[in-house]
Amino acid sequence: MASVFSHPTIPLALGLALGEKRIPRPLLIAGIVSSIAADFDSFGFAVGIPYASQWGHRGFTHSIFFAVTLAALWTWRNAEFKTDRWIVFAYTFISAISHPLIDAMTDGGLGVALFWPFSDARHFFPWRPIPVSPIGGSFFSPRGLHVIRAELSDIWLPAFLLGSLGYGVRQVLERDREEVRKRIPFFAIFLGVLFLIGSMGLQKGNYAEGKSDTLTWKQLAAAKPDAGKIRFDKAVDALDGHHIKITGYMFPLDGSEDQKHFLFSAYSPSCPYCLPGGPAEMIDVDTSAPVAFTYKPLTLDGRLHLAKKPGDLAEGVYYGLSDVHAASAEPK
């Protein structure tokens, strides 16, 4: 999922474009609530609802049907908003449906059940530039900082541009050109700040790295399935069965403090129900000596194993690591 800070950008941008006459403050608040309402399904984990269930996270609340129903409920309370009913419905529907559409552009977890109740299939867009947001304490981490920077460039910046364009068109149509001229410096400065921070996020990159690493995550991620086999980068293939060092983040597979079997990834844990990457971006780690769970980056020293064909290692991963020793590390 995108972070809770970014989903409200859509109703805020619409509010900027349409103005307070059409989107009064109570309706603006309703739009913000609608934009984050879909993630109330996360409470299902507390009562044992499986992630993949239609009632689980990114299930029925991330559907067009849910967005229509929520918009209809807001429209039913139209008297509180003091604007046209069709504006209430359209505004809250767009705010609500923007949530699953943004989530469908993230790089982790299951897709969204957009067409529930007619289908409980999960869907992603082909283009998925938005990193999944960490939750809890892991949000205040290098991964969390990268997510915020990426969302500034991928969500906030486009939303602000469209909202500003709508604002300018509205002011011209209302013939308040003097007001437009007064606001141009403010918009220009704010746009420049967003662009600068977003660009910093893009330049920084996603992958954890350590100074003593034998391989990089970029080399590992180059692996591709091909005619029933898996093709690896030549440097990776040459190290099959050899000891390597690589820096990344632990993704625990149970709730214990010490882990003997866990996933290892270029990304810090984003949430308890979202995998930290694709099959070429994770390593299945088995170790005889337990490793204490941490959100900080680790450098693992162990023997690399490659899945030459699907099923050679744990399902869903291309890499394994055994005979492991771990030490805390700082990325470059």
pLDDT at 107: 72
* 83/21 Cα distance (integer angstroms): 8
The CATH 2.40.50.870 portion of the chain extends over 217-328
Q: Which residue has the tokens 């009064």?
A: 24
pLDDT at 105: 85
Q: Is the pLDDT of residue 215 over 70?
A: yes
Q: Are 2 and 104 in contact (CB under 8 A)?
A: no
- The single-letter code of the amino acid at 86 is W
Q: Which two tokens stand for residue 22?
A: 């059409």
pLDDT at 218: 84
Q: Is the pLDDT of residue 332 over 60?
A: no
> Does 266 or 63 have the greater pLDDT score?
63
Tens digit of each residue's pLDDT (9 = 90 or more) over 155-196 = 888 888 888 888 888 777 776 566 666 666 666 666 666 555
> Does 142 or 73 have the greater pLDDT score?
73
Tens digit of each residue's pLDDT (9 = 90 or more) over 250-285 = 888 877 788 889 989 877 665 555 666 678 888 999
Interval 132-136 mean pLDDT = 62
Instruction: Please state whether beta strands 282-292 and 319-328 pair in parallel, antiparallel, or not at all (unpaired).
Output: parallel
pLDDT at 75: 93
Q: Look up the pTM and report it.
A: 0.60
> Does 304 or 251 have the greater pLDDT score?
304
Domain 217-328: CATH superfamily, name plus number: Protein of unknown function (DUF3299) (2.40.50.870)
Tens digit of each residue's pLDDT (9 = 90 or more) over 22-45 = 899 999 999 999 999 998 887 876
Compute the residue count for the chain. 332
Tens digit of each residue's pLDDT (9 = 90 or more) over 66-105 = 999 999 999 998 777 888 899 999 999 999 999 999 988 8
* 159/169 Cα distance (integer angstroms): 15
